[in-house]
Amino acid sequence: MEALYLLASLAATIATSAFHSLLLLLRLLVRYPGRAAPADGHDAAARLYEGRVRHSRRRPAAHAFEYSARYALVNLDLLPLPGHLSADEARRVASTSGPVHLLTIPKSVGYEQNPLSIYYCYDSASQGQDGQLRMCIAEVTNTPWGERVMFTFQPGSDLVAKPLHVSPFMDMLSNWSIRVDAPGDRLYVVISVQHPTLGDYFTAALDAKLVGQTSNSLRLATFFWLMPHKVAAWIYWEALRLWLKNVKFLDHPRYSNPSYRDEALERDLELRASCIFRQRQKVNSQRSRTAEKTAGTTNHVDGKCDENITKRWCVWMDAQWPWS
């Protein structure tokens, strides 16, 4: 049944994308020459980034690849995106008061594919500036199951117990080491997978540069044309290559361990309570010029091993039929 659903979904996506591509072409042909496009100034709704995504696996079989990618950093106060948190929702989760920018690949010709999106939540600042980056929210989606998890993490670097079955070639015992800095002319995201027996065996990185900014929906549509489709094609192609290398295929943990989500939260709480983790977060906080303002914030830590620790904000969204 699941295989038939995948084939039907593929056929529907091809047909839908072809239809919407024709509509996009018509928009390009019949747009009014005398009609001014929205200004692409400093306060544009989206910053456009172009760069490379790199994956490197060292064990149990060596495997690496990279591909070009385009991302948008969207100011959610200016351009809310359906299917994602609103700016106000993100601020409530992150306990911040300033702008919220979402790094994502926007939907293109009726199709969306985002293995990872990141919300950058800032403190408020005057004169139209973003202020200090205070908290990030990751939004991870697995393919083809269509599940999603969202969780908070500290900018700079953070360590998170893996909460979602993302790849059928990885188990649930890992921690994710996430490195993210405030995006500017360049944007850099690194995730390392740390496993109790395999060690630091997998790294995924995005390195991109700012190439423009816009509030023009037509420019966004053309800039990201078929970008989600390209990402999906890479996911399935690299999965096939891993399978051909005899890397073990793992079933979704919901079949063998229905409580895997609760266990992930427990592991993450133990991780946050460890002295090593909290000292790491203290160093992270000291990099900020306003570290003293965050010493009493619930989601921040000060390196003392006897302080009460709260759970990380983490929520799951279940898959739709037939994966549910």
Q: Determine the pLDDT at residue 145.
A: 87
Q: Determine the pLDDT at residue 294.
A: 42
120-150 confidence digits (pLDDT tens): 999 986 555 668 999 999 999 998 888 999 9
Ranges of the chain whose pLDDT falls below 50: 34, 289-306
Is residue 66 within 8 A of residue 55, CB to CB? The reply is yes
Token couple for 176: 């994710």
List the Cα angle 21/85/23 in 5-degree steps. 10
Which residues 6+ apart lie within 8 Å of 185 measured at CB?
Answer: 209, 210
**Dist. CA 63–CA 242, nearest whole Å:** 8
Beta-carbon neighbour count of residue 43 at 10 Å? Answer: 11
193-221 confidence digits (pLDDT tens): 999 999 999 999 999 999 999 999 999 99
Which residues 6+ apart lie within 8 Å of 197 measured at CB?
Answer: 173
Q: Determine the pLDDT at residue 301.
A: 39
Is residue 250 within 8 A of residue 171, CB to CB? The reply is yes
Q: Determine the pLDDT at residue 302.
A: 37
Which residues 6+ apart lie within 8 Å of 24 measured at CB?
Answer: 109, 221, 222, 225
Q: Determine the pLDDT at residue 9.
A: 79
Q: What is the pTM of this model?
A: 0.88
231-247 confidence digits (pLDDT tens): 999 999 999 999 999 99
